[in-house]
């Protein structure tokens, strides 16, 4: 029996895709300028047993397996390799259990982040992680990359909320990790091992997440700065004052202009940088926001103003979420085949101003447009490097800019990825960051769980 025959028997013929035109859409995620292969087939399982059956059949024949969610990733972590079996988790999209008393939810990996957020909000609860793609990205993908978002500055990244997992291993066995209790320290923390592993150690089929009470009333302000370094200084002053904003985002002039061109919103396109800050402390929010405003003025803000109502605050947040599509539109307006190389470097907050200055210098020296947006409150910046895909010289220059920014970020005590993951884009930089011993340990873990290197091969660490 062939692999395809076995898959059709196990999952049903309607759950196995082999049409070449359809396979094309499963080749890659949203990362630009990294390689992608052509899968042998795509399966769309409905439950854990079907995932296990597919993995077992592939493993028996030595066929690589690449798991995909909504393919909103920005590092090539979900890209197919030639001849692989793609396991698409989009059909596993049920909230299996919602427990307000214990403040947990159990979900399948294909549940969209925003769908979970809305479901728990109806119970007066909150699932805090909110990546920019929250309206389309899945919880499984968020867990696989340990995704962040705009609220991370106060509430932390995805791993802080994952209590337990169900995982199909490379040999088809099913592993359960973690717990549903508030406390639990039995054994090695296998749950955190799989969070952020990008499908290289196992396929996550069920996730138990912790929930929080709904946030108190939130107020939002905007601070406009003459330089990006001044905005970075404001961030330092805000945290040195002991404040804990629930959101602190930065947009540079390139992004402000791109967003206004993409969807006019009245943003100040003459500003060098804009900080968007929120405080969700209810009756204390106004006082907290006033102190944030004082820190912004002390850092040299040209203007500081508060959103007048919830609708205006929502529009400001929308502007931030439009940053990526706006930059994609900008790239296409500059070049017929314009594209983006998206960096994801995080540095200590106290080094943020240095990083912003360095990015501006690197961009100017190479003559490559770079827009910077990101989570200023946790030092996680996303330099968006604009290149002409059709021009090898432009792509090469963009890659040099990417590498220099990455090198500078590590020199400032930072990391090669704050939330997008490693995928294909940053394998070499991960090795640099980890060092020889760190790479050896990573390889040993991979070899223990996937000795034949069938799960998402070539991602995270070079083969």
Q: Is 432 exposed, middle or buried (CB count within 10 Å of its CB: 0-12, 13-18, 19+)? A: middle
Please check whether the domain covering 219-411 is classified as CATH 3.40.462.40: yes
Confidence (pLDDT) at 374: 93
The pLDDT value recorded for residue 463 is: 67
Look at strands 41-43 and 95-99 and give their pairing.
unpaired
How big is the chain by its Cα radius of gyration, in Å?
22
Domains 3-88 and 219-411 share a fold: no
Give the pLDDT confidence score for residue 318 in this predicted structure: 87
Cβ–Cβ < 8 Å for 218, 285: yes
For the stretch 170-189, pLDDT in tens is: 999 999 999 998 888 999 99
Distances (CA, A) of 46 to 10, 11, 200: 11, 8, 21
Residue 279 confidence (pLDDT) above 90: yes
Q: φ, ψ for residue 127 (rounded to 5)?
A: -105, 105
For 256-271, the pLDDT digits (tens) are 999 999 999 889 999 9
Average pLDDT estimate for 230-237: 95
Distances (CA, A) of 417 to 216, 232, 406, 433: 31, 19, 9, 10
pLDDT of 314? 86
How does pLDDT run across 373-423, given as a tens digit for each residue? 999 999 999 999 999 999 999 999 999 999 999 999 999 999 999 999 999
- E strand intervals along 197-240: 203-210, 212-213, 219-225
pLDDT at 257: 97
Provide the pLDDT for residue 38. 97
How many Cβ atoms are within 10 Å of 310's Cβ, its own excluded?
12
In terms of Cα–Cα distance, which of 118, 111, 80 is closest to 96?
111
Q: Say what the pLDDT of residue 397 is.
A: 97
Residue in the structure block whose two tokens are 């002039």: 253
Which has the closest alpha carbon to 383: 344, 334, 426, 348?
344
Instruction: Give me the percent of the chain exceeding a pLDDT of 90.
Output: 91
Pick the CATH number of 3-88 from 3.90.550.10, 3.30.43.10, 3.40.50.720, 3.20.20.60: 3.30.43.10
Q: Indicate whether 335 pLDDT > 80.
A: yes
Cα–Cα dist 393/159, whole Å: 40
pLDDT score for 250: 96
Categorize the per-residue pLDDT at 317 as very low, low, confident or very high, splitting at 50, 70 and 90. Answer: confident
For position 149, what pLDDT does the model report? 87
What's the pLDDT at 308?
83
Predicted confidence (pLDDT) per residue in 25-44, tens digit: 999 999 987 999 999 999 99
pLDDT digits (tens, 9 = 90+) for 92-108: 999 999 999 999 999 99
Residue 126: which of 149, 92, 94 has the closest Cα? 149
**Band of pLDDT at residue 132, cut at 50, 70 and 90:** confident
Please tell us whether the domain made up of 95-213 is placed in CATH 3.30.465.10. Answer: yes
Residue partners of 419: CB distance under 8 A and separation at least 6 = 131, 145, 146, 147, 148, 149, 152, 157, 344, 346, 380
Average pLDDT over residues 126-150: 93
Helix axis angle, 323-334 relative to 310-321, nearest 10°?
Answer: 50
Q: In the predicted model, what is the mean pLDDT of residues 183-196?
A: 95
- Looking at residue 232, its pLDDT comes to 94
Closest to 68 (Cα-Cα) out of 20, 14, 138 = 138
Domain boundaries, the chain: 3-88, 95-213, 219-411
Tens-digit pLDDT profile for residues 148-166: 988 899 999 999 999 999 9
């Amino acid at each position: 029996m062939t692999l395809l025959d076995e898959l059709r028997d196990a999952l049903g013929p309607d759950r196995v895709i082999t049409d070449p035109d359809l396979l094309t859409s499963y080749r890659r995620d949203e990362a630009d300028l990294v390689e992608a292969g052509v899968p042998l087939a795509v399966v769309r399982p409905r439950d854990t047993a079907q995932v296990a059956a597919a993995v077992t059949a592939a493993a028996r024949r030595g066929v690589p397996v690449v798991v995909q969610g909504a393919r909103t990733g920005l590092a090539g972590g979900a890209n197919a390799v030639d001849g692989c079996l793609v396991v698409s988790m989009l059909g596993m999209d049920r909230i299996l259990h919602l427990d307000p008393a214990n403040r947990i939810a159990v979900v399948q990996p294909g549940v969209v982040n925003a769908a979970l957020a809305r479901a728990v909000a109806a119970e007066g609860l909150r699932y805090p992680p909110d990546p920019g793609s929250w309206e389309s990205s899945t919880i499984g993908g968020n867990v696989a990359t340990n995704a962040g978002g705009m609220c991370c500055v106060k509430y932390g990244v995805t791993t802080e909320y994952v209590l337990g997992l169900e995982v199909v291993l490379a040999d088809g066995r099913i592993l359960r990790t973690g717990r549903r209790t508030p406390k639990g320290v039995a054994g090695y923390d296998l749950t955190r091992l799989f969070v952020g592993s990008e499908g290289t150690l196992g396929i996550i089929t069920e996730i138990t997440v912790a929930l929080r009470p709904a946030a108190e009333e939130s107020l939002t302000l905007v601070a406009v700065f003459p330089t990006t370094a001044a905005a970075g200084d404001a961030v330092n002053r805000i945290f040195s004052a002991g404040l804990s904003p629930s959101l602190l985002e930065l947009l540079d002039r390139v992004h402000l202009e791109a967003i206004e061109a993409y969807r006019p919103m009245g943003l100040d396109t003459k500003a060098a940088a804009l900080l968007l800050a929120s405080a969700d402390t209810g009756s204390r929010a106004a006082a907290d926001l006033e102190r944030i405003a004082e820190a912004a003025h002390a850092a040299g803000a040209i203007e500081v103003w508060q959103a007048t109502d919830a609708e205006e605050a929502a529009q400001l947040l929308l502007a931030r979420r439009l940053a990526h599509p706006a930059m994609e539109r900008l790239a296409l307006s500059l070049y017929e085949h314009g594209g983006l190389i998206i960096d994801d470097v995080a540095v200590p907050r106290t080094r943020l101003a240095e990083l912003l200055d360095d990015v501006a210098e690197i961009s100017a020296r190479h003559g490559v447009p770079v827009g910077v947006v990101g989570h200023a409150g946790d030092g996680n910046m996303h330099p968006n490097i604009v290149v002409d895909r059709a021009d090898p010289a432009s792509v090469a220059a963009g890659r040099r800019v990417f590498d220099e920014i990455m090198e500078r970020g590590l020199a400032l005590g930072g990391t090669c990825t704050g939330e997008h993951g490693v995928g294909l884009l940053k394998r070499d930089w991960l090795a640099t960051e980890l060092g020889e011993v760190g790479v050896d340990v990573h390889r040993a873990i991979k070899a223990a769980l996937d000795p034949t290197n069938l799960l998402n091969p070539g991602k995270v660490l070079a083969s």
